Amino acid sequence: MFQFFRKTLYQRLFEYDLPVYRLGPAKFEMIPCDESEYENPWKESFKQLYNGIHVRQGYQEMYNDNLSGRRIRCVDTIQAAINVAVDGTIIFVHTNKFINEVFVVDKNVEV
């Protein structure tokens, strides 16, 4: 039951059907749960990706939940994510149309 909750939460926040693991700098892989070495693949992937910044317009409330204590950074634009990022930050750009958005990547980040 708890693993189902983690899977559902993970899929809502990250929009991935399978857990994604960070294997190294700029190297990620989706691994099916039955092929994962972790007891709870959703939980492990969530831990690895938790400190990233999400670019998803209008979803800030979903990422910050005062009741659960969840405080995942979510912004509306790619440039806003770059502005608050520090070197090594992962930036998740969610499905949307970023028409006419101009941004400058002046930090060592992963998008």
Tokens found for residue 89: 């930050």
pLDDT tier at 20 (50, 70, 90 boundaries)? very high
Domain ranges of the chain: 1-50, 52-111
| pLDDT tens sequence across 86-108 | 999 999 998 887 788 889 999 99
| pLDDT tens sequence across 38-55 | 999 999 998 888 889 999
d(CA 70, CA 50): 10
pLDDT tier at 62 (50, 70, 90 boundaries)? confident
Q: Where are the alpha helices (DSSP H) in 1-111?
A: 2-14, 41-49, 60-63, 78-84
Percent of the chain with pLDDT over 70: 90
pTM of the model: 0.79
Q: What was the pLDDT predicted at 67?
A: 61
User: Running DSSP on this structure, what letter comes out for residue 105?
Assistant: -
Say if residues 59 and 79 touch (Cβ distance below 8 Å): no
Helix (H) or strand (E) holding 92: strand 91-93
Helix (H) or strand (E) holding 65: strand 64-65
